[in-house]
A and B are shown apart, each in its own frame.
Chain A
Amino acid sequence: MKTDDLIKALAADTAAPTMTSLRVWLFAGVGALLIAATVFSIALGPRADIATAAETLRFMLKPLESALLAATAFATLIALARPDGDTRRLATLAAAPVLLVIAVVVELAVLPPELWEARWIGSNSLLCLTYIPLIGIGPLAALMLAMRHGAPTRPRLAGAVAGLMAGGVAAALYALHCPDDSPLFVATWYTIAIAALAAIGALVAPRVARW
């Protein structure tokens, strides 16, 4: 087929409406939150003493850091899903880790060293490693579908960032159930769980989002 002939065919196909990227991401974002919230409330629900826990800074930092990661990852993902997307957005992903590192440093300063290990290991690391990926996998699938609608030129990177977004959402919810509030615990176990979702995203995206 000659290129001019192809152009004729493409031009004749203008009427077919395509959903705007903005709308797709709106659906994907809301969908991801709904899926995560549903799985969380069925499988776990918030811890019994959440009202008193919410008054402590340690507890409040957990959903805050996670939500910050989810928000920065979502904005970065939207950029990466466009061919001309600005990769400088990737730098914003550092915000949540920086906050977490500050929290860890403060925790080490205020906590007597003999308590470090107990707080680091916590009481529920296995639950954390199970439920953050479990809550996050549905949202990750929703984001993958939206990515498929887009045109990422670096699908592996975009997939990893989608995993960070899904992991951030899942971690923010899981934090409401988790009895371990120390930044030492969060920095270790939450990070491993979220990294697992990022790895899944990086593995799957090049297959799902080819164009």
Chain B
Amino acid sequence: MANLLRAAIGGDEAAYAQFLRYAASHVRALARRKIVHGGVDPEDVVQETLLAIHTKRHTWMTDAPVLPWINAIARYKLIDAFRRRGRRMEVDIGDFAETLAQPEAEVAADRDIGRALDTLAPGQRAVVAAISVDGHSIGEAARKLGMNETAVRVALHRGLKAIARRFGRDT
């Protein structure tokens, strides 16, 4: 895995995708083990951890082992998710007292990364969706959206950063 991440930092997209898939299954197993009482969706923790791995990949020392680094990030994101859930449950009880009923479905959707995608500026959202959900390459997305490739890269980069930032805040 260290070799894959080193190649990724050197700009190898395929190696990076492979590395992220390994990291995802590793974090998924960890999250399922730690989340015993429910309330937090392990897959949300996986996605938040992947985003954090991505935006903070420069904090990995290229001669250090990868798994302790991934575990530390996953643990941090897991604690963050538990804390958010705790706060949201308090709010829910408050709302319940005020208005008798709050739709629960909204609470579940709140945790979804897809919701963060919805909050992006339209241009960034189109680019991120074209590359993630539709699976286009940078070049294909550029042609489809009538943008140049540099603009697509910039929009993707800023969009992902904005999504990652949202999870660091009390949203």
Contacts and interface: CB of A to CB of B under 8 A. Distances in A.
Nearest to A8: B132
B114 interface: yes
B92 to A, nearest CB: 23
Contacts of A20: 58
A74 to B, nearest CB: 17
SS class of chain A's interface: helix, strand, loop or mixed?
loop
Given A8-B131, A19-B58, A83 B24 contact: no
A20 B138 CA distance: 25
A2 B50 CA distance: 12
A8 B138 CA distance: 11
A82 B65 CA distance: 13
Given A11-B16, A84-B68, A211-B168, A151 B73 contact: yes
A9 interface: yes
B59 A13 contact: no
A114 interface: no
Contact of B72 (A1, A3, A11, A153): A153
A11 B55 CA distance: 12
A1 B100 CA distance: 32
A14 B72 contact: no
A15 interface: yes
Contact of B50 (A6, A16, A82, A83): A6
A126 interface: no
B156 A12 contact: yes
Contacts of B16: 10-11, 14
A43 interface: no
A21 interface: yes
A88 B21 CA distance: 32
Given A11-B20, A210-B168, A6 B47 contact: yes
Given A1-B114, A14-B11, A21-B58, 19 more contacts: A1-B113, A1-B132, A1-B133, A2-B133, A3-B46, A3-B50, A5-B135, A9-B132, A10-B16, A11-B20, A12-B13, A12-B131, A12-B137, A14-B16, A81-B59, A83-B59, A83-B72, A211-B52, A211-B164
16 contacts: A6-B50, A7-B20, A9-B160, A10-B50, A11-B14, A11-B20, A12-B156, A13-B153, A18-B57, A18-B58, A82-B60, A82-B61, A83-B72, A84-B60, A84-B64, A210-B168
